[in-house]
Amino acid sequence: MSSEAVERRLAAILAADVVGYSRLMGEDEAGTLARLNEHRKVLIDPAIKGHQGRIVKTTGDGLLAEFASVVEAVRCAVHIQHGMAEREAGTPDDRKMLFRIGVNLGDVIVEGDDIFGDGVNVAARIEALADPGGVFISGDAFRQIRNKLDVGFENLGEKRMKNIAEPVSVYRVLTDVAAGTVVGAKRGRNRAWLSTGAVAAAALVGAVLVWNFVLRDSLPTVEAASMEMMAFPLPDKPSIVVLPFDNLSGDSEQQYFADGLTDDVITALSKLSGLFVISRNTAFTFRGEDVSVKSVAEELGVRYVLDGSVRRAGDQVRINAQLVDATTGKTLWAERFDGDTKDIFALQDDINARIVSAMAVELTGSEQQTAAGGRTGDARAYDAFLKGAELLRKNTAADTGEAVKYFHQAIEYDPDYSQAYAALAAAYWTGARKGWLRELDAASVEAARTEAREMLGLAMRANPTVEAYALEADMAMLDGEQERAVEMAAHGLEMAPSAPEQQARLGQALTLAGRPGEGLGYIERAARRNPRGEYLAQLGLARFSLGEYEKAAALFEGLLEEDPARYRVAAPLAAAYAHLGRQDKARAALKRLVEGVKKSRGPQAEPRISGVVSQFPFSRAEDRDRLAEGLRKAGLPE
C-alpha cells in the first residue's frame, strides 16, 4: 500500500474487556454470555452511541470504540463503569462482571470501518493496566481533558509497553477527588481520603519520597486461591489480611518498628466501613511462617493479601509493600516508599491510600477526611510509643514497667498524644489487676487504678480514640457497670467499624448486661475476622447465658485445649456440663479450675462459689444464679 493511499486521522480510542472472562465462562457459559449481552444492550452500546462514539469491533469479552472527542470518550468510560457497578451490586464478588477500560488520544490508520496503528495499540495496552472497574487514560488524553470533566486523576508515571517505541504516561481516573486534582508520582501522594495534617506532611516529604510504581505487566503472579478450598465464604465486601511486615534492618531490636507499622496499617483500614479486615491477633500468628498467598487466603477466607518489609537505617526508612488478589494470583501493585523517619506518617498514608484505591473501596464522607485520630506528628514520640506498645503486649510485670517509661517519654515529646495516654492508662490498669505494683511504682492497687483513670481522662480530653473508648469499656465491665460498658464499646465500634476487637468488646458488654442474644451476633462477626485467635470465651459465655450449654461447653473446651492458662473458663464449663447432667465432665472441669486457682494464688487457695461467680460480673441475677447453680451441681463448695 502506498503512503498516498493510507488514510489517517486523530481519534479518541476506548478499549474495554471483561475481567476474568474465561473463568466466568468456564463456570457458567450460557449465563455469562447472557449477562454480557444484557449489559451491552442496556448500558454499554447506548452509552457509546449517546457520547457520539461508534463501536469499531468486538472480541467476545471486549470491544474497541472510536470517538471524535476525547472528553466524550472518557465521560463515556466513567458512565459505563458507574453503570456496571450499579448493575452488578447484588452479585457475589466471585461472580461479578467487571470491565477494565483504557482511553488514548492518538493517530490511527483507517481501513474501511476498521482502525489500526499505535493509537489503537496504546489504548489496548493501557486497558490491560487498568484496575477492575477502573478507567486508565494516556498522557495525551489527560492533557486534553484535565479541566473539562468532574473527575480527578492519579499520575502513575511512564510505562513501557510492548511494541510501543516510547514510554507512555498513564493516569488513573478518580471520581472521589475534586475536579482537575492530580495526585501521584510527581507529588508522592495518590488519594484524597487523608486528613489535612497528612496532606501537609506530604508536602514536606515530596522532595524525598521516591515513587516506584512497577509496570503491571511485569508484576509477579502467584498460585491463585481456590474458591472451593476457602474455609469461609468470601465476605460481601473487599476482604484483606495484612501480614506482619518483615524487619530487614539487620537489627532484631528494630522489630518493634516493623510491627508498629503493621499495626497502624491494620488500625487505619479497620476504621473503614467498606472493608472486611482480619484481626491483628490472627495476622501476627503468621509471622515467621513460610506461607503462600494461596494458603493464607484459603485459611482465612479473604480475597486480598498485603505483605511487605521495612528497612531502617538511622533516620532513613524504606518500606516495600505489595497487594495481591488471591482469587486471581495477580499482584495489583508493588511499591517502594523511601523517606525520613519524621515522614513516616505520610508514608503510612500512602500505603493505606493505595490499598483503598486498588480494592475500589467506597469511602463515606467522614472517612474521606479520616484523621489519624489520637496519633502524634512527632516522630520521636511515635518511636517511643511503638517501643512501649511492643513491651506492653508481652504482658509481664517487668515489661509493663518498662512500657510505662516509654509512654511517659512519648508524652514528654508530645503532651497531646492521646494514644500514649490511653496506653499508659492500660498499663496501670493491667498492673492494678495483676498486682504489679512495684514495677509500676504504685503504692497500692487503688493508687494504680487511680493513675489509670487519670491517664484515661487525659486521653479523652486530648482526643477520644478507639483505644480510649475500648479501655473505658473494659474498666466499666470489670466494675460491673455494664450499661456504661455497652455505651463506651459502641462508641469504639462506631470509630472502627471493621475492627474485630471492637465488635467482640461490644458483644461481651451486651452479654454481661443481660442481652446475650444481641451480643452473640457481634462476637460471631468478630470471630470470623479472627479465625486463628480469641473470642471463644466471649462466644461461650453468650451461649451459656442463652442456656445453650452444649455449644458453650464445646467452645470452652476448645479454648482450654488451645490455652490451658485460661483456667477461669473452666468455671462456666463445669456449670454447663452440670446443667447437662454430665457429672464426670463437670467434675473434671472443676478440677482444672481448682488446679488453676492454686497455681495462680498458692496451694492454700480454695475457690468458692461466691468468689468464682464474682469473676463474671453479670448484670442479671438469673445469669449469676445459672452459673452458681451449675457450680453447685458440679460440687464446688459454697
- Domains contained in the chain, CATH given: 7-186 (3.30.70.1230), 217-368 (3.40.50.10610), 535-638 (1.25.40.10)
The reported pLDDT for the residue numbered 365 is 47
For 608-615, which contacts have Cβ atoms below 8 Å and span 24 or more sequence positions?
608/636, 608/637, 608/638, 609/636, 609/637, 609/638, 610/638, 612/571, 612/636, 615/568, 615/571
Give dist(CA 423, CA 417) in Å, integer: 10
C-alpha closest to that of 191 among 278, 238, 131, 236: 131
Q: What is the 3-state secondary structure (H, E, C) of 356-412?
A: HHHCCCCCCHHHHCECCCCCCCCHHHHHHHHHHHHHHCCCCHHHHHHHHHHHHHHHH
Give dist(CA 520, CA 268) in Å, integer: 26
Give dist(CA 165, CA 341) in Å, integer: 40
The reported pLDDT for the residue numbered 406 is 94
The reported pLDDT for the residue numbered 361 is 56
Give dist(CA 137, CA 122) in Å, integer: 10
Phi, psi for 215 (deg, rounded to 5)? -55, 130
Question: In the block, which residue shows the cell 487514560?
Answer: 137
Give dist(CA 469, CA 425) in Å, integer: 12
The reported pLDDT for the residue numbered 215 is 37
Give dist(CA 320, CA 349) in Å, integer: 14
The reported pLDDT for the residue numbered 603 is 81
Please name the helix (run of DSSP H) or strand (run of DSSP E) that holds residue 426, with its range, or none.
helix 418-434
The reported pLDDT for the residue numbered 36 is 93
Q: Please, what is the end-to-end C-alpha distance for the chain in angstroms? A: 103
Give dist(CA 143, CA 141) in Å, integer: 6
Strands annotated E in 227-303? 239-242, 246-247, 276-277
Can you tell me whether residue 101 is helix, strand or coil? strand
- Pairing mode, strands 99-111 and 135-138: parallel
Can you tell me whether residue 536 is helix, strand or coil? helix
State which residues of the chain have pLDDT below 70: 1-5, 184-220, 343, 356-375, 533
176: buried, middle or exposed (CB in 10 Å: 19+, 13-18, 0-12)? middle
Give the CA dihedral 163, 188, 303, 243, nearest 10 degrees: 120
Beta bridge partners of 277: 240
Q: Phi-psi region for residue 288, left (φ > 0), alpha (ψ -120 to 50) or beta? A: left
pTM above 0.75, yes or no: no
Give dist(CA 393, CA 308) in Å, integer: 22
Give dist(CA 281, CA 297) in Å, integer: 16
The reported pLDDT for the residue numbered 533 is 67
The reported pLDDT for the residue numbered 360 is 58
Residue 368 grid cell: 474521606
CB of 406 closer than 8 Å to CB of 391: yes
Give dist(CA 206, CA 410) in Å, integer: 26
